Chains A and B, each alone.
Chain A
Amino acid sequence: MKPDSDFEPSIKEKVKDEWEEIVQSDSRRLQNIENRVISQISTRNNFSLLFWMHKLKDKSSELYYQFTVVQRYAIVASVVTATIVGVLLGWFILPARNTHQTLTLFRFQAADADRVELAGEFSGFKPIEMSDKDGDGVWTVKLKLKEGKYEYYYLLNGNDKPDSYPRADEVVRDWDNSKNGIIYIRENDKEGSGNQTSA
Chain B
Amino acid sequence: MKHFHVYCVNTMRTKNIGSMHETELLYRSLRGEKQAWGEIAKRYKRAVYGVNLALLKDRTEAEDATQETFIKAWNNLEKYDMNRKFSTWLFTIGSNISKNIIRKRDRWRFINNLPLVKGKNDPQTQVRKEKRVNGIREAVFSLSAKYRAPLILRFWGEQSYQEISQILDIPEGTVKTRLHRGKTRVKELCKQKGVK
Q: Quick check: is A14 within 8 A (CB to CB) of the other chain? A: yes
Q: Which single residue of chain B is at the shortest CB-CB distance from A24?
A: B46
Check B133 against A21 for contact (C-beta < 8 Å): yes
**Complex formed: what's the CA distance from A50 to B97 in Å?**
19
Task: Mark each residue of chain A from 8 to 21: 1 if its CB lies under 8 Å from any CB of chain B, else 0.
Answer: 00011011101111
**Complex formed: what's the CA distance from A65 to B152 in Å?**
25
Q: How many residues on the A side are at the interface (Cβ–Cβ under 8 A)?
A: 35
Check A15 against B156 for contact (C-beta < 8 Å): yes
Check A22 against B37 for contact (C-beta < 8 Å): no
Q: Which single residue of chain A is at the shortest CB-CB distance from B40?
A: A34
**Complex formed: what's the CA distance from A82 to B3 in Å?**
57
CB distance from B105 to the nearest CB of A (A): 13
Q: Quick check: is A112 within 8 A (CB to CB) of the other chain? A: no
Q: Which single residue of chain A is at the shortest CB-CB distance from B103?
A: A65
Q: How many residues on the B side are at the interface (Cβ–Cβ under 8 A)?
A: 45
A residues within 8 A CB of B162? none
Q: Quick check: is A143 within 8 A (CB to CB) of the other chain? A: no
Q: How many pairs, one residue from A and one from B, have CB atoms within 8 Å of each other in the complex? A: 104
A residues within 8 A CB of B66? 30, 33
B window 91-116: CB within 8 A of A:
100, 103, 114-115
Check A11 against B183 for contact (C-beta < 8 Å): yes
Check A4 against B59 for contact (C-beta < 8 Å): no
Q: Which of B4-12, B67-75, B79-87, B119-127 contacts A (4 or more CB under 8 A)?
A: B67-75
Residue numbers of B with Cβ under 8 A of A are 34-35, 37-39, 41-42, 45-46, 49-50, 53-54, 59, 63, 66-67, 70-72, 74-75, 100, 103, 114-115, 117, 132-133, 136-137, 140, 151-152, 154-156, 176-177, 179-180, 183, 186-187, 190
